[in-house]
Structure 1
Amino acid sequence: MNNGKTEQISEREYEMVELLRKLNMNRSVALVLACLSTGEEVTSRSIEKKAGLRQPEVSIAMRYLCDNNWIEVREEKKTEGKGRPVKLYKLVVPLEYIIQRIENDVMYQKLSVLESIERLKGLT
C-alpha cells in the first residue's frame, strides 16, 4: 500500500496514458489504469494526487474498471479518528490482458468499418 508520500506520474506511466488515449480510452480511465499498473494497492486519494484528477473523475474511472472486472476493491478501517473506511484498489488482471482486450476491440471496429466500405462500394 502507498505509504502516504505524494508521487508524480512516472514517464512510463505518462507514455502509457498517451498511448491509451490514442486508442480512444477515456483520459481519467487511462490515468487511473496507469496509477494501478504498479500492481500495488492504492487509495482513491493517492490516485487523485498522483494523476491530478478530482474525486468524481476517479470514481467514474473506478466504476468502468470494476464493470470490466479489472480491479478489486477492499475497505480498511481508519487507524485514526472516525469516518468512513478507506477504500483500497488493486489491479487484478495482468496489463497484458487489458491490452489484448483493447487490441481485440480495435480489430473488431476496423473490420466493421471495412465491411461498411465494401457494402457501400456494392451499392454504387
Structure 2
Amino acid sequence: MVYMNRTDDSKEDIIEAFRDLGVSRNLATTIAYLKSVNEASSLDIEMNTGLRQPEVSVAMRAMRKNNWIEESNKKVSGKGRPTKIYSLSIPVDKIVAHFEHQVREENEARLRIIDKLKALSKD
C-alpha cells in the first residue's frame, strides 16, 4: 500500500495505470510521488511512499537511465555526504509517451509475426 496522501486518489490511479502497462511498482510509485512534489530526497520518497531504500534506488536508476530526473546535491549540516535531491526533468506525459512508443513497437512486432504466420499457413 502506498502511503502518499491517501486522500489523493489520482496518485493511486496513476500508479495502477502504470502497473497495468507492466511498469514496476517501485518505478510507478516513484513517478507518481515526484509528480506531486517539486523535489524530494530518497528519504522523502521512502517515507512518503512506503518504499524501502533499495526499491527507491532501483527506481532512480531507471529514471536516470531515461533522463527523467534531475539530481542536485544539498549540503547537510556537519560531516557526511551531501543529500541527493531529485525532481522530474520532464512532464509525466512525456514519460507516458515513452511507454506508448514501447507498446506500439511491441505490438507492431507481434503483428509482423502474425502476418508471417498467415503467409506460412497458406501453403
Corresponding residue of 1:38? 36
Corresponding residue of 1:8? 5
Secondary structure, in 3 states, of the residue corresponding to 2:36? coil
Q: CA deviation at 1:39?
A: 4.8
- What is the CA–CA distance in structure 2 between the aligned matches of 1:109 and 1:115, rounded to whole Å? 10
- What is the CA–CA distance in structure 1 between the aligned matches of 2:37 and 2:28, rounded to whole Å? 15
Corresponding residue of 2:102? 105
Consecutive unaligned residues of structure 1, counting only runs of 5 or more, are: 1-5
- What is the CA–CA distance in structure 1 between the aligned matches of 2:4 and 2:14, rounded to whole Å? 17
Q: CA deviation at 1:18?
A: 0.3
Q: CA deviation at 1:115?
A: 1.0
Contact kept? 1:39, 1:91, Cα under 8 Å: no
After TM superposition, the score normalised by the length of structure 1 is: 0.88
Q: Does 1:95 align with 2:92?
A: yes
Contact kept? 1:65, 1:71, Cα under 8 Å: yes
Structure 1 stretches (4+) deviating beyond 4 angstroms?
A: none
- Give the count of matched residue pairs: 118
Q: CA deviation at 1:92?
A: 0.7
- What is the CA–CA distance in structure 1 between the aligned matches of 2:15 and 2:43, rounded to whole Å? 19
Corresponding residue of 1:3? none
Counterpart of 1:69 (choices 67, 70, 77) is 67
- What is the CA–CA distance in structure 1 between the aligned matches of 2:32 and 2:76, rounded to whole Å? 26
Q: CA deviation at 1:83?
A: 2.1
After TM superposition, the score normalised by the length of structure 2 is: 0.88
Identity, in percent, stands at 38
- What is the CA–CA distance in structure 1 between the aligned matches of 2:14 and 2:70, rounded to whole Å? 21
Tell me the C-alpha RMSD between the 2 structures: 1.6
What is the CA deviation profile of residues 27-52 of structure 1, one whole-angstrom value per residue up to 9, with x for unaligned ones?
10111111111251101011111111
Q: CA deviation at 1:12?
A: 1.0
Consecutive unaligned residues of structure 2, counting only runs of 5 or more, are: none
